[in-house]
């Protein structure tokens, strides 16, 4: 009996040690928590060199830099289009937007169910909602103003912001009570903000109001898994900033650059308040935070893309390579540079993998966590593709090689490893033909745009003379 008791005791001790070992292993920094929170912070028209982690010399972004230093900087981070609407459609679905005909920047047309994200598409909020996530969209929507396309119809539980592709920043200029008072495309910039389905009176500078709402959402949902889509309007035009932020840049003499810098500084403050709230609530280690811009910066409006060629609207690097970083303390290594090409579509793929849900459609993104943890040494993508339908322009990247046909019709093959500025085309007809063939195969699966875009505003008005008449009071 004594021997049996001794053996049982040894067995129980063995089980205890095994259990403790499992618990220890599961708390390892390399093991992702179950259902982490997901935050996507999206700046609008931010230049590649307009953050400290990409070498900004005049604009100070200590909080955005802190996010980057806490995790990984993507030195070859891309978005799926060079202007905001299609780029956002790709990010929110994890699919190349040309697959569902979102190849143009949508117009503000609240009576048109085609002017925006097709209802057949699943958003990231839809997807993670299947795993019980609470989701909020804050800021710029630009994925459709029709009642079928608004955030609360696209998987989000909450919304605070505006529907159109831009907005004025000072509350005293928000003179339109609702969309029934809008009479032109630009007029939508003057609407009062929406909280869910209701117009609200707001007194704060736009960027500050969006940051406040983001912090409040996190505070209210700290005990449950959540997805926050914080889509700032800044530093998109109109260039407007308060004295609080302008006073930080008295050394910048160019008025346009100074105002642009102040707008970026407001975003940086917002990022700081959000990161501080995560630490205060002790959920920083259970929250993955992405930061990026929706496209390259428009240098004519004060942005700086550094060595990258051209800017917003271009399929050269200045239009599609963006400031891009991610933090997840304890899971993703800090102060890491990741040099393989990644794309905004990967955010969706990473989030659904972490949430443990299967997307409705086949997606084009890749779960980045194994790559960032060093568990997978291969490239996340063998190829990345872009198409600018109306300009008959295209781009494909394979490794360091990039083939681009730009809006002028010029075709060039570049080695980005030693020619990031795309200045010296390479003569390699075989590779050019191979890349063009691969792009053609990819493009054969795409759709023509399903709606007229911003460039077709006058044409659209002629075809839809009732565009702004009898619009609901929303």
Q: Name the residue among 339, 306, 240, 232 with its Cα closest to residue 51.
A: 306
pLDDT confidence of residue 328: 98
Q: Catalytic: which of 18, 84, 236, 316? A: 84
Given a cut of 90, whether residue 3 has pLDDT beyond it is no
Q: Catalytic: which of 18, 142, 433, 456? A: 142
pLDDT digits (tens, 9 = 90+) for 383-392: 999 999 999 9
What domains can be seen in the chain, in order of their start residue? 37-372 (3.40.720.10), 384-457 (3.30.1120.10)
Given a cut of 60, whether residue 7 has pLDDT beyond it is no
SS3 318: helix
pLDDT digits (tens, 9 = 90+) for 149-181: 999 999 999 999 999 999 999 999 999 999 999
pLDDT digits (tens, 9 = 90+) for 232-277: 999 999 999 999 999 999 999 999 999 999 999 999 999 999 999 9
In angstroms, the CA 445 to CA 407 distance is 22
pLDDT digits (tens, 9 = 90+) for 209-241: 999 999 999 999 999 999 999 999 999 999 999
First to last CA, the chain: 80
In angstroms, the CA 460 to CA 107 distance is 9
**pLDDT (average), residues 355-373:** 98
pLDDT confidence of residue 34: 74
333, two tokens? 């290594």
**pLDDT (average), residues 109-115:** 97
Percent over 90 (pLDDT), the chain: 93
Q: Dihedral sign for Cα 316, 318, 319, 324, please.
A: positive
Name the pLDDT band for 432 (thresholds 50, 70, 90).
very high
CB 322 within 8 A of CB 292: yes
Q: Record the pTM.
A: 0.93
Given a cut of 60, whether residue 24 has pLDDT beyond it is no
Mean residue pLDDT of the chain comes to: 94
Name the pLDDT band for 71 (thresholds 50, 70, 90).
very high
Q: What is the side-by-side strand order in the sheet with 401-405?
A: 384-388, 393-398, 401-405, 411-415
In angstroms, the CA 68 to CA 368 distance is 16
Q: Where are the beta strands (DSSP E) in 122-170?
A: 134-140, 158-162
Residue 18 annotated to the active site = no
Percent over 70 (pLDDT), the chain: 93
Residue 84 annotated to the active site = yes
pLDDT confidence of residue 8: 40
In angstroms, the CA 443 to CA 439 distance is 6
pLDDT confidence of residue 282: 98
Preceding omega of 45 cis (within 30 degrees of 0): no
Range 276-285 burial, b when 16+ CB lie within 10 A, else e: ebbeeeebbe
């Amino acid at each position: 009996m004594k021997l049996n008791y001794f053996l049982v005791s040894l067995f129980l001790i063995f089980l205890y040690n095994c259990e403790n070992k499992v618990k220890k292993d599961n708390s390892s920094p390399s093991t992702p928590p179950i259902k982490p929170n997901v935050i996507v912070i999206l700046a609008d028209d931010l230049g590649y060199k307009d953050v400290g982690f990409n070498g900004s010399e005049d604009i100070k972004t200590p909080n955005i830099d802190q996010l980057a230093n806490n995790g990984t900087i993507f030195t070859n981070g891309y978005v799926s289009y060079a202007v905001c609407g299609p780029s956002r459609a790709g990010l929110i679905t994890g699919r190349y937007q040309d697959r569902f005909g979102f190849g143009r920047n949508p117009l503000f047309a609240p009576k048109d169910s085609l002017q925006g994200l097709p209802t057949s598409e699943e958003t990231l909020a839809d997807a993670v909602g299947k795993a019980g996530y609470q989701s909020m969209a804050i800021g710029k929507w630009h994925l459709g103003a029709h009642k079928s396309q608004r955030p609360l119809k696209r998987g989000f539980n909450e919304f605070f912001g505006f529907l159109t592709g831009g907005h004025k920043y000072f509350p005293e200029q928000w003179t339109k009570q609702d969309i029934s008072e809008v009479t032109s495309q630009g007029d939508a910039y003057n609407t009062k903000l929406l909280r869910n389905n209701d117009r609200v009176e707001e007194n704060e500078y736009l960027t500050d109001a969006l940051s406040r709402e983001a912090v409040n959402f996190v505070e209210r949902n700290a005990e449950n898994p959540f997805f926050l889509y914080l889509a700032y309007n800044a530093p998109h035009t109109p260039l407007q900033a308060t004295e609080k932020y302008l006073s930080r840049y008295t050394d910048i003499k160019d008025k346009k650059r100074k105002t642009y810098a102040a707008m970026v500084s407001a975003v940086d403050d917002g990022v700081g308040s959000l990161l501080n709230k995560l630490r205060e609530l002790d959920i920083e280690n259970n929250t993955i935070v992405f930061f990026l811009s929706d496209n390259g910066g428009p240098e004519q409006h004060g942005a700086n893309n550094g060595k990258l060629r051209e800017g917003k609207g271009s399929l050269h690097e200045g239009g599609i390579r963006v400031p891009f970083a991610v933090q997840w303390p304890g899971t993703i290594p800090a102060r890491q540079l990741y040099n393989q090409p990644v794309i905004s579509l990967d955010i969706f793929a990473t989030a659904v993998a972490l949430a443990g849900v299967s997307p409705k459609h086949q997606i084009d993104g890749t779960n980045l966590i194994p790559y960032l943890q060093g568990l997978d040494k291969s490239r996340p993508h063998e190829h990345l593709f872009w198409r600018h339908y109306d300009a008959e322009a295209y781009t494909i990247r394979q490794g360091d090689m990039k083939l681009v046909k730009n809006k002028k019709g010029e075709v060039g093959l570049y080695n980005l490893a030693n020619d990031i500025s795309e200045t010296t085309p390479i003569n390699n007809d075989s590779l050019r033909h191979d890349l063009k063939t691969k792009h053609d195969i990819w493009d054969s699966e795409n759709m023509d745009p399903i709606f007229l875009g911003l460039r077709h505003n006058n044409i659209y008005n002629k075809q839809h003379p009732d565009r702004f008449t009898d619009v609901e009071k929303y």
